[in-house]
């Protein structure tokens, strides 16, 4: 009986690469591409990008989510929008962030406007590229812009005007003066012209808002905002914390 063919004779012989022929990466060098810095190796970055074309957008979105965790007021850190109208606004805005409408949440004290506003901001912020998002209250916004020695009010104003998303809580709550009216007009008109989405909350009715802010601002808000009225009892009086 003939001896069975030995495996070694059936497979083509491959000479192992001598260890001395392998490129050796120095500390800090990319092991795949010696000579390149391990952290910023551009062939590796291109390979990663080719494997997942959305990698950059996903990393950016993750950074924005972490920024929300860090900068949201503690009470609203975990706020999730759950109002059907707000959820519909989020769907529309996320589907087309470049043309996202603004959101105007109206209603009496304690009905959850600020909660819905932060929930909406958290949902939309990772989708919108551009400058940072800003969340503030209308009294804080005006306080931060008051002329004071050493402050560059126009530079501060530009941050609000150019923010990728601006949340202004309690619109119409600041004491009305000619200066407040002028800043409000410049801010809303500037964002209106650039078509940047904002999220506003207010305790005022639309008629009170028009009386307080004036016709020109109210007209722009009417064009760019999806208005949603929240009602029901004051949630602070019906919840424990
Ligand atoms: N959908 C929700 N789920 C859980 N808690 C909520 C919800 N909406 C509001 N709350 C809680 O109810 C309280 C009141 O909500 P919020 O501050 O948003 O009301 P508001 O309408 O902004 O009130 P105000 O007009 O006084 O500013 C807060 O403690 C908030 O965390
Ligand atoms: Mg509020």
Q: What is the signed CA dihedral for 139, 214, 212, 132, rounded to 10 degrees? A: -20
For the ranges 56-60, 151-155, 163-167, the lowest mean pLDDT is seen at 56-60
| Mean pLDDT, range 220-232, rounded to an integer | 97
Q: Is 236 in the pocket of ligand 1 (CB under 6 A)?
A: yes
pLDDT class for 198, splitting at 50, 70, 90?
very high
pLDDT of residue 7 exceeding 70: no
Q: Is 114 in the pocket of ligand 1 (CB under 6 A)?
A: yes
Q: Is 198 in the pocket of ligand 1 (CB under 6 A)?
A: no
Q: What is the pLDDT of residues 179-195, one digit of tens each?
A: 999 999 999 999 999 99
Q: Is 82 in the pocket of ligand 1 (CB under 6 A)?
A: yes
DSSP state of 237: G
What residues have a C-beta under 5 A from ligand 2, the ion? 114
Q: Which residue has the higher pLDDT, 122 or 24?
A: 122
Q: Is 182 in the pocket of ligand 1 (CB under 6 A)?
A: no
Look up the pTM and report it.
0.81
Distance from residue 81's CA to the centre of ligand 2 (Å): 14
pLDDT of residue 22 exceeding 70: no
Which element (helix H / strand E) includes 201?
Answer: strand 198-202
Question: For position 8, what pLDDT does the model report?
Answer: 46
* Dist CA 193 CA 46 (whole Å): 38
Which residue has the CA at smallest separation from atom 26 of ligand 1? 109
Distance from residue 114's CA to the centre of ligand 2 (Å): 4
pLDDT class for 239, splitting at 50, 70, 90?
confident
Question: For position 13, what pLDDT does the model report?
Answer: 52
Give the other-Cβ count within 10 Å of 199's Cβ: 28
The residue whose CB lies within 8 Å of the most ligand 1 atoms, and thus the one to mutate among 90, 106, 110, 203, is 110
* Dist CA 170 CA 136 (whole Å): 9
Average pLDDT of the chain is 89
* Contact between 166 and 160 (Cβ < 8 Å): yes
Of ligand 1's listed atoms, the one at least distance from the Cα of 117 is 18
Distance from residue 210's CA to the centre of ligand 2 (Å): 20
Give the other-Cβ count within 10 Å of 83's Cβ: 18
Closest ligand by atom to 73 CA: 1
Q: What is the pLDDT of residues 206-224, one digit of tens each?
A: 999 999 999 999 999 999 9
Q: Which residue has the higher pLDDT, 120 or 45?
A: 120
Q: What is the pLDDT of residues 104-138, one digit of tens each?
A: 999 999 999 999 999 999 999 999 988 899 999 99
Of ligand 1's listed atoms, the one at least distance from the Cα of 201 is 22
Percent pLDDT > 70 in the chain is: 89
What totals of helices (H) and strands (E) does the chain contain, helices first? 10, 5
> What domains does the chain contain, in order, with CATH numbers?
39-71 (no CATH), 80-237 (3.40.50.300)
Question: For position 57, what pLDDT does the model report?
Answer: 86
């Amino acid at each position: 009986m003939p001896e069975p063919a030995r495996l070694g004779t059936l497979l083509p012989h491959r000479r192992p690469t001598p260890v001395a022929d392998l490129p050796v990466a120095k500390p800090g060098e990319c092991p795949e591409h010696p000579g390149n810095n391990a952290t910023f190796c551009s062939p590796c970055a291109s390979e990663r990008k080719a494997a997942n074309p959305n990698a950059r957008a996903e990393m950016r979105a993750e950074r924005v989510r972490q920024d929300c965790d860090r900068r949201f007021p503690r009470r609203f850190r975990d706020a999730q929008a759950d109002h059907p109208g707000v959820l519909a606004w989020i769907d529309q805005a996320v589907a087309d962030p470049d043309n996202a409408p603004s959101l105007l949440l109206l209603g009496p004290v304690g009905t959850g406007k600020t909660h819905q506003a932060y929930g909406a901001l958290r949902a939309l912020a990772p989708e919108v590229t551009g400058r940072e998002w800003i969340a503030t209250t209308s009294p804080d916004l005006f306080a931060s812009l008051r002329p004071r020695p050493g402050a560059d009010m126009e530079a501060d104003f530009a941050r609000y005007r150019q923010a990728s998303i601006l949340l202004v809580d309690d619109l119409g709550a600041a004491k009305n003066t000619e200066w407040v009216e002028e800043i409000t007009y410049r801010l809303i008109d500037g964002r209106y012209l650039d078509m940047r989405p904002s999220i506003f909350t207010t305790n005022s009715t639309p008629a009170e808002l028009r009386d307080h802010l004036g016709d020109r601002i109210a007209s722009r808000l009417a064009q760019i905002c999806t208005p949603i009225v929240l009602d029901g009892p004051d949630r602070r009086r019906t919840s424990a914390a």
